[in-house]
């Protein structure tokens, strides 16, 4: 009877470890996907900013991303969602 209890206890411990490892793995996958999504959004902002610069526009909204170009002297600021994404110095 005690050997069956030990087998049951070992099984429960193994199941708990498996569940913990699975949760940790899924958490890391979720963080990885979020990081990829953020990097993709940043790339889209840069693409839209490049198009705005090439077309000479002060602002452009495309693919759900809106950028604004602010020129002051030889400094060009690229803004997205009210935050400065890049500052370029024109020589």
Q: Could you tell me the residue range of the domain that residue 56 belongs to?
A: 1-89
What pLDDT is attached to residue 2?
76
* Backbone dihedral angles phi then psi of residue 62, each to the nearest 5 degrees: -155, 140
Q: Structurally, how many domains does the chain consist of?
A: 1
Res 1 pLDDT > 80: no
DSSP letters along 30-71, please?
Answer: HHHHHHHHHHHHHHHHHHHHHHHHHHT-SEEEETTEEEEEEE
List pLDDT tens digits, range 25-69.
Answer: 999 999 999 999 999 999 999 999 999 989 989 999 988 889 999
List pLDDT tens digits, range 7-37.
Answer: 899 999 999 999 999 999 999 999 999 999 9
> Cα–Cα–Cα angle for 71, 75, 80, nearest 5°?
60
**pLDDT-derived band at 82, boundaries 50, 70, 90:** confident
């Amino acid at each position: 009877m005690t050997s069956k209890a030990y087998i049951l206890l070992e099984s429960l411990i193994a199941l708990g470890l498996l569940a913990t490892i699975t949760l940790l793995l899924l958490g890391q996958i979720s963080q990885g996907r979020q990081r990829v999504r953020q990097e993709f959004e940043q790339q889209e902002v840069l693409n839209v900013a490049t198009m705005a610069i090439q077309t000479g526009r002060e602002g452009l909204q495309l693919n759900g991303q809106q950028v604004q170009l602010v020129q002051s002297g030889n400094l060009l600021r690229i803004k997205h969602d009210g935050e400065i994404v890049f500052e370029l110095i024109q020589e």
